[in-house]
Amino acid sequence: MTESITTPPWDADPFERDAVAGMQQMMRGMAELLHAVPEARYVDPSGGYIPLR
Amino acid sequence: MNEQPRTIAGAQQDLRTGRVTATQLIEESIARADAVDEAVGVYIRRFDEQALAAAAEVDARIARGGELRPLDGIPIGMKDIVSDGDGPTTAQSLVLDPAWGEATGDAVVVQRLKDAGAIITGKVTTMEFAVGMPDASKPFPVPRNAWDTDLWAGGSSSGSGSGVAAGVFLGAIGTDTAGSIRIPAAFNGVTGLKATFGRVPKSGVVPLAYTLDHVGPLTRSARDAAIMLQAIAGSHASDPYTLDAPVDDYEAALERGVAGMRIGVDSFQQHASAGYDPAQPALFDAAIRTLERAGATIVDVVMPRYAELTAIDIIVMISEAYAYHRGDILSRWEDYGQATRILLAGGEAVTGADYVQAQRVRRVAQREADAVLQSVDAVVSSTGHLAAPRIDGISLGDPMAALASLHTPYWNPLGVPTMAVPIGLSAGGAPLSMSISAPAWGEATVLAVGDAYQRATDFHLAEPPLVRSLERQPA
């Protein structure tokens, strides 16, 4: 069964809830920057996994 | 006792000539740790007895006229996310299952160093799981800077950097995902090499980010880094990310120097978002002039996609790390350090599409950066524009702030070799650093540039005040 988050543990403390919210907002901002790169539209991903030997 | 050698190359020479014994090297390492470790926080666990026993074996073999292996008798610190069969691995965390280290035994890099004769003197401090921040609420040492114990040692290979700077060992192993070899090297005034992705096997190392992690040496000098890289480089069946690229003779490559080389320069000053130390621009410029006097042709370059590559490194690192930690983060939140868990929880916001897009832009950026790197022999940039921050200024609730004006994340998604070398002291007396990069598999070039710079300068040999005060004390 897939584990789901109903109440994340960081919600228990207001300071940490706000800190995580800030971190996640930063991550979303960075992701939007990358989604706005038109040259990547038809490019294959780098990194990733090497076929098993 | 004769004055102890301060580099691996020096120790190799002294062992060969009989000026020093392996036992003396290890005894000095132990004595130095006794003197400074409480203040600096280098070790999580020391292997004093095993190290002395290994040193005795080396001395016995020398006495029988046996051949010396490349790293025989050399004391080496091991970052405590790298598994070593001689002791437990903690990743500086309450969360890592000890059974993992017990089952893993020696990581490939540890086995290769031991095969070369290196003596692992202990497991050294790291940021928790290579990503947290110093946290005095957890039962692990707070890593402090060897130059000023009010300052942070940097991370995540904290003890690896401070231990080399403080003379506790002659070399150390670290790992680098967003700068974790180069930042502690920069902050502690030592040399730190992140080689090409896939150059050194990562098997037996707790992962932070599968497609960004690199294993590599921290040492006093580029020459010492070449010696250590020689021992650990090469593909291994246990690590599918390693490639069968030929391993160069790195020490021989140092003789090339920089005469006739084209060296591109991008200071990254326009990206120093938190400002720069007043001493940094002049020190960086002086370093470039040193390379020019050594025979290099200097050209200005602009490394592309700075914002994108920094974002790629953070997105990919945090989401790959979150994949590894998600179960424990949700069930053992309080066992993680506060900074670690806040950082990792950021991964919950990254979607699958975000991750794939990051890896697509990564390929675009790799091609564009490679075009610049291939137009020259090497590129020199600033490792960071500020010296180490104060430990009491680090906010566990805003862990990214401690990395302000550091340019190390730029290089990890490119996977190219990058080495940090010290260039002098900040206005406040703490080390500053430049980085030398080359196209993929260009470790020999990077090392040659670093060595040429260090033949003409002596910042890499400077001793922190803490060590100078020990040497002034009567025996």
Q: What is the pLDDT of residues B266-292, one digit of tens each?
A: 999 999 999 999 999 999 999 999 999
pLDDT tens per residue, range B201-251: 999 999 999 999 999 999 999 999 999 999 999 999 999 999 888 899 999
- Look up B156 and say whether it is catalytic: yes
Q: What is the mean pLDDT of residues B454-469?
A: 96
**Lookup: tokens for B332:** 């053992």
Q: Are strands B191-194 and B262-266 parallel, antiparallel or unpaired?
A: unpaired
Distance, CA of A50 to CA of B233 (rounded, Å): 19
> Does B316 sit within 8 Å of A46, measured CB to CB?
no
Distance, CA of B433 to CA of B443 (rounded, Å): 18
* Buried-state track B369-389, b at ≥16 Cβ within 10 A, e below 16: beebbeebbbbbbbbbbbbbb
Q: Which residues have a Cβ under 8 Å from the Cβ of B103 and sit 6 or more positions away? A: none
The mean of the pLDDT values for chain B is 96
A51/B300: higher pLDDT: B300
Which chain A residue has its CA at the smallest distance from B316's CA? A47
Confidence of residue A50 (pLDDT cuts 50, 70, 90): low
Which chain A residue has its CA at the smallest distance from B309's CA? A34
Which chain B residue has its CA at the smallest distance from A42's CA? B360
pLDDT tens per residue, range B329-387: 999 999 999 999 999 999 999 999 999 999 999 999 999 999 999 999 999 999 999 99
Q: Does B118 touch chain A (CB under 8 A)?
A: no
- Helix (DSSP H) and strand (DSSP E) numbers for chain A: 1, 0
pLDDT surpasses 50 at A1: no
| The pLDDT of residue A47 | 75
Q: What is the mean pLDDT of residues A22-51?
A: 89
pLDDT surpasses 70 at B472: no
- Look up B79 and say whether it is catalytic: yes
Residue type, B164: V
**ipTM of the assembly?**
0.90
| Residue (of B385, B368, B170) closest to B272 by Cα position | B385
Other beta carbons less than 10 A from residue B427's beta carbon: 11
Judging contacts by C-beta atoms under 8 Å, the chain B residues touching residue A44 are 360, 363
Residue type, B151: L
Give alpha helix (H) positions in B272-417: 280-293, 306-331, 338-345, 352-374
> Does B364 sit within 8 Å of A9, measured CB to CB?
no
Q: Which domains does chain B have, with CATH numbers?
A: 8-472 (3.90.1300.10)
DSSP state of B258: S
pLDDT surpasses 50 at B199: yes
Distance, CA of B412 to CA of B279 (rounded, Å): 27
Q: Which among A6, A15, A26, A46 is the top mutation candidate for probing chain B, defined by the most B β-carbons within 10 Å of its own β-carbon?
A: A46
Q: Which of B211, B348, B358 sits opposite A34 (nearest CB)?
A: B358
Q: What is the mean pLDDT of residues B141-157?
A: 97
pLDDT tens per residue, range B403-446: 889 999 999 999 999 999 999 999 999 999 999 999 999 999 99
A11 to chain B, minimum CA–CA distance in Å?
Answer: 11
pLDDT tens per residue, range B5-33: 899 999 999 999 999 999 999 999 999 99
| The pLDDT of residue B417 | 97
| The pLDDT of residue B385 | 97
Q: Which of residues 198-227 of B touch A (CB under 8 A)?
A: 210-212
Confidence of residue B2 (pLDDT cuts 50, 70, 90): low
A1 to chain B, minimum CA–CA distance in Å?
Answer: 13
pLDDT surpasses 60 at A4: no
Please provide residue B466's backbone torsions phi and psi, each rounded to the nearest 5 degrees. -60, -40
